[in-house]
Structure 1
């Protein structure tokens, strides 16, 4: 069984959204994963479809490239948060990896034209999206490759756990059968 990877990002708004989805799913297949694209099987309730697909996935790859401004697509931000709330690993990529402080024009040191503080943690997106220690990959290929490495280990680990549980159950069953047989032999010898 291939690990499932939800493919989050603003690709769904592209003129070639379906073709891009197929390309991303192909990258997943090549890496031994099953890609779940938001537009697949889409019904009337797009939000519910995306939430359901994230719940079905083993992990999420997200494009956090700036979209219609300095920051990422807000729907993708929601999907990242939802996946993290479910305890799923998130792998992010961006075509713009410069820190926010370098990308947003400052009117005064550390403040934008409206006087708002410019986040300066050396990250290409808000620290809630890019926590310390997380890599922002340069493209989907790298993020999917890392997801495959991490998720395939989890699948192998779960398979090993299932095998160990079966072995323990078999050993317990054999032990119980031997104990019952020994009890029956002891009863006959004692004469009960």
Structure 2
């Protein structure tokens, strides 16, 4: 059975272990073995820094052992995906793993950034030169997140699905995740 590393911000939720177990059960339903970032035991180290480094190393080892990295790129704590998830996706790309991602919103990156950092009406912003309040250029490619994320997934012949869920379940609704698993099953004959 191919192993899927389940990257995403779910590790920060109050019910992280429960979500992880649910995602792993869905992986099994579609013929994969799900590996959640919390599937390792890290004993507290001498300092908080040492503990953080042990967690980081443990997650990298889990990514290395997997065949596929599936990243939850739903925006987290800002306009983009969780920074740790982004790192794990990039690590998977660097290790030439199969990649897939999903987002529980269909609002494009440009719109999310403009909503938080733009001034005025986006429809009136000069196309090709859309800038935020600090005069920083905003990507205008119609993508769901930064071009390097979506670009890396596509270059790796991966999948990236989006869907809108109830905002109160932005990080717990697994509908788009399950659809992605179904497509991965067909693609890899799991």
TM range (shorter): 0.7 to 0.9
Take 1:57 and 1:147, find their aligned partners in 2: how far apart are those partners? 14
Match of 2:170 in 1: none
Could you tell me which runs of 5 or more consecutive residues in structure 2 were left unpaired when the two chains were aligned: 44-53, 163-175
1:85 counterpart residue number: 94
Match in the other structure for 1:27: 26
CA distance in 1, matches of 2:2, 2:40: 19
Q: Is the 8 A contact 2:99 2:159 kept in 1?
A: no
Write out aligned runs for 1:100-111 (5 A): 100-105=109-114, 106-107=118-119, 109=125, 110-111=130-131
- Name the residue aligned to 1:136: 160
Q: Give the TM-score of the pair, scaled to structure 1.
A: 0.74
Residue aligned with 1:60, SS:
strand
Mark the CA change 1:128 to 1:94 in structure 2 (over 3 Å): closer, same or farther: same
CA distances 1:58-112 after superposition (whole Å, capped 9, x unpaired): 1011000100010110000000000001111110000122211122222272111
State the partner residue of 1:117. 137
Check the 8 A contact 1:77/1:129 in 2, yes or no.
yes
Q: Is the 8 A contact 2:9 2:85 kept in 1?
A: yes
Residues 58 and 151 of structure 1 are in contact (CA less than 8 Å); yes or no, is this contact kept in structure 2?
Answer: no
Higher relative contact order (CA 8 A, sep 6+): 2
Cα shift at 1:14 = 0.4
Counterpart in the other structure of 1:147:
184
Superposition TM-score, scaled by structure 2 size: 0.75
In the alignment of these two chains, the number of paired residues is: 152
Provide, for residues 6-59 of structure 1, a one-character-per-residue CA deviation record: whole Å limited to 9, x for no partner.
Answer: 000000000100000001001100001000000012314111111111110010
- Structure index of larger Rg: 1
- Stretch of structure 1 that moved more, 26-35 or 139-148: 139-148
**Structure 1 or 2: more helix by fraction:** 1
Aligned-partner SS, 1:72:
coil
Q: Deviations over 1:94-138 (max 9, x none)?
A: 012221112222227211122111111111101110018454313
Backbone CA RMSD of aligned residues = 1.7
Partner of 2:78: 69
